[in-house]
């Protein structure tokens, strides 16, 4: 058997080792918890960024849908305006009694008027000579 003094020394050494082991384990636990918290923080940040991107994308989609709907609304307006313009054109044609003349038709009429005037003038001159 060991003397009591040696026994006390061994007990003291065992207690010291147990304390060191406990402290080392606590240190490892703290480090693991810090890493865990860091990961959770990063995950939360990524989640926030993901949500921001999602909101931005949804806003862009809403804007596109708004423009699409606006275009769909504008298209019937343009069609209606065109129909009104067409009706006004036909109304004006009907009021004049004849369809709009082309440039060639207007020029042809002017040429005929000039020829008629020239013939009248030459006829007047011939009559005056007789």
Model pLDDT for residues 66-98, shown as the tens digit of each residue: 766 666 666 667 777 777 777 666 556 555 555
On the question of pLDDT at 27 being above 80, the answer is: yes
- For residue 105, the enclosing domain spans 100-129
Q: Is residue 41 part of a domain?
A: no
- Output the pLDDT for position 116: 74
Residue partners of 10: CB distance under 8 A and separation at least 6: 2
Q: Is residue 40 part of a domain?
A: no
Q: Is residue 36 part of a domain?
A: no
- Are 81 and 105 contained in the same domain? no
Burial 61-98 (b: 16+ CB within 10 A, else e): eeeeeeeeeeeeeeeeeeeeeeeeeeeeeeeeeeeeee
Q: Is residue 21 part of a domain?
A: no
Q: Is residue 2 part of a domain?
A: no
Q: How far, CA to CA in Å, does 89 sit from each of 17, 26, 80, 106, 109?
A: 106, 93, 14, 19, 23
């Amino acid at each position: 058997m060991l003397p009591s003094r040696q026994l006390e020394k061994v007990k003291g050494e065992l207690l010291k080792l147990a304390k060191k082991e406990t402290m080392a384990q606590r240190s490892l636990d703290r480090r693991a918890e810090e890493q865990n918290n860091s990961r959770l923080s990063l995950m939360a940040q990524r989640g926030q960024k993901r949500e921001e991107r999602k909101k931005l994308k949804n806003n862009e989609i809403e804007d596109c849908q708004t423009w699409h709907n606006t275009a769909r609304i504008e298209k019937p307006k343009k069609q209606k305006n065109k129909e009104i313009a067409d009706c006004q054109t036909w109304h004006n044609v009907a009021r004049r009694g004849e369809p709009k003349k082309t440039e060639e038709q207007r020029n042809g009429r002017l040429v005929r008027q000039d020829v008629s005037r020239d013939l009248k003038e030459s006829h007047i001159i011939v009559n005056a000579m007789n």
